[in-house]
Amino acid sequence: MIRRPLAPPPPKNGPRYNEFIASPKVRVIDENGENLGVMFTQEAIEQAAEAGLDLVEVSPNADPPVAKFLDVGKYKYEAQKKANLARKSQRTQEIKEIKMRPNIDDHDYDTKMKKVHSFIAEGDKVKITLRFRGRELSHQQLGMALLQRVAEDTVDDAKVEAYPRMEGRQMLMVLAPK
């Protein structure tokens, strides 16, 4: 049994180029950015080869698809570099937690609030947890008043994302930067 050689597989990621372009006609842009008009794909591939470049499909969803005379390797390299730069510059938003007790003293409260303001200034969300112990659980209104005070103190730079709610022996509230 004689096997014929396989054609190179189509590119899995990145743009289609040269013989992998499925459309019979494409709108062609040359290496200088000038529009050459709509032409048959095979003819455009030959013109690109004469210029020493590849025909790269830059906008496959257009009608007809837009293809450009480019060096495929260089195009993929620049696209990868741009994606890496975008990934490096993006910042994920974390949830920081501040724990308090319902009968917290003023100075301790001020210290915790400084931390809350710094977290919000950095662009992070803040989860404020109020832990009740023993008989404190029967005085949940004190905890609610404390969380209302926190919300009022941060009204300038944060908004309440999750209003105070009880979960077991804890009361939770989430603040997010404005």
**Residue 8, pLDDT score:** 67
Q: What is the pLDDT averaged over residues 101-110?
A: 96
61 SS3 class? coil
Q: What is the pLDDT of residues 2-52, one digit of tens each?
A: 777 776 666 777 788 998 998 999 999 999 999 999 999 999 999 999 999
Q: How confident is the model at residue 57 (pLDDT cuts 50, 70, 90)?
A: very high
- pLDDT more than 90, % of the chain: 77
> Tokens at residue 35, please?
């529009």
**Residue 90, pLDDT score:** 82
Cα gap 38→20, rounded to integer Å: 18
pTM of the predicted model, to two decimals?
A: 0.56
Alpha helices in 8-127 (DSSP H): 41-50, 72-89, 106-121
**Residue 91, pLDDT score:** 78
Sign of CA dihedral 26, 32, 34, 36: negative
Residue type, 146: L
